[in-house]
């Protein structure tokens, strides 16, 4: 089977035979080609990452690497399609979810199903546009359930998380946000190396590589639990994040999901 690399090489050879000696490349294509021509050695990875100057270039490089991420692919427990992150490489807030599910795998973007709609509502209530934050998953591939898969999803296991973690860590090094928000226990366990329920991890500031981290319930928890107390708990975490980011908070926002007196 021809790889994308073979197809690209043949395409370029064809152009050269026809006398074309220049092609226009966008930033992402440039990074992918550079990577093919001079792939970074295992111990040179950080150097290659450092040589790319803007966060966008670094993220494009990481997207290309994630596509061929052998540490994850060789496990044989993750599905084929890599679903990379979305959003602004200059974001002040990075959200870390669990893994792509059925909808995300189909559309190739994190948080585009029902949990994604809930997440968009939360961001909207905070006054943040989805495009202005950066949304990633601790595992970049939908975990496989073999023949039972259908539309069902499962959480990534520790091995699957460990395989993808270097990509997430590199994304965070590229972006250096002011704040990270872990959505759910799986993301928190993977990023912070802390065990425990969300209930025990939320309500405090943690740290990843010098960046403050907050933990909250996964948006899908709010789809299962519509109690005002659950919504208020998540909202209090969002208020803490807004304060950290110095986003102005109105009295109305402060009072969201409080019981009516």
Nearest to 89 by CA among 116, 55, 60: 55
Q: Count other Cβ atoms within 10 Å, centred on residue 158.
A: 10
* Least distance CB 98 / ligand URA (angstroms): 3
* Least distance CB 139 / ligand URA (angstroms): 9
Contact set with ligand URA (CB under 6 A): 97-101, 104, 110-111, 115, 137
Name the residue whose CB lies closest to ligand URA: 97
Q: Pick the closer one to ligand URA by CB: 55 or 97.
A: 97
* Least distance CB 55 / ligand URA (angstroms): 21
Where do the DSSP E strands lie in the chain? 78-82, 86-87, 93-97, 134-137, 141-143, 179-183, 206-208, 211-216
Q: Pick the closer one to ligand URA by CB: 101 or 177.
A: 101
* Least distance CB 159 / ligand URA (angstroms): 18
* Least distance CB 216 / ligand URA (angstroms): 12
Q: Pick the closer one to ligand URA by CB: 46 or 114.
A: 114
Q: Pick the closer one to ligand URA by CB: 100 or 190.
A: 100
* Least distance CB 192 / ligand URA (angstroms): 16
Q: Pick the closer one to ligand URA by CB: 64 or 96.
A: 96
The answer for residues whose C-beta is within 8 angstroms of residue 139's C-beta and 6 or more apart is 72, 78, 98, 99, 100, 156, 160, 161, 163, 164, 190
Structure tokens at 83: 């679903």
Structure tokens at 141: 């591939």
* Least distance CB 110 / ligand URA (angstroms): 3
Q: Pick the closer one to ligand URA by CB: 102 or 257.
A: 102
Q: Pick the closer one to ligand URA by CB: 25 or 223.
A: 223
Terminus-to-terminus CA distance in the chain, angstroms? 67
The answer for residues whose C-beta is within 8 angstroms of residue 7's C-beta and 6 or more apart is none
- Name the 3-class secondary structure at 38: coil
CA 42 to mean position of chain CA atoms = 23
* CA distance linking residue 104 with residue 100, whole number of Å: 5
């Amino acid at each position: 089977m021809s790889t994308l690399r073979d197809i690209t090489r043949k395409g370029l050879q064809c152009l050269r035979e026809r006398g074309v000696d220049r092609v226009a490349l966008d930033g992402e294509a440039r990074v992918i080609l550079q990577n093919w021509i001079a792939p970074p050695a295992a111990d040179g990875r950080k150097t290659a990452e450092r040589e790319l100057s803007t966060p966008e270039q670094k993220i494009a490089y990481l997207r290309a690497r994630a596509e061929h991420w052998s540490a994850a692919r060789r496990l044989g427990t993750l599905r084929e399609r890599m679903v990379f992150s979305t959003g602004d490489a200059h974001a002040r807030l990075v959200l870390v979810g669990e893994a792509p599910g059925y909808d995300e795998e189909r559309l190739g973007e994190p948080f585009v199903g029902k949990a994604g709609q809930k997440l968009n509502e939360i961001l909207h209530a905070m006054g943040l546009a989805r495009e202005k934050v950066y949304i990633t998953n601790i595992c970049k591939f939908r975990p496989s359930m073999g023949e039972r898969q259908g539309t069902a999803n499962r959480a990534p296991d520790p091995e699957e998380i460990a395989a993808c973690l270097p990509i997430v860590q590199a994304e965070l090094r590229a972006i250096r946000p002011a704040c990270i928000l872990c959505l759910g226990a799986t993301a928190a366990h993977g990023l912070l190396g802390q065990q425990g329920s969300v209930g025990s991890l939320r309500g405090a500031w943690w740290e990843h590589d010098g960046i403050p981290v907050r933990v909250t319930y996964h948006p899908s928890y709010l789809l299962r639990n519509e109690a005002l107390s659950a919504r208020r708990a998540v909202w209090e975490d969002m208020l803490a994040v807004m304060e950290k980011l110095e986003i102005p908070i109105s009295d109305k926002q402060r009072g969201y999901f409080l019981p009516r007196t």
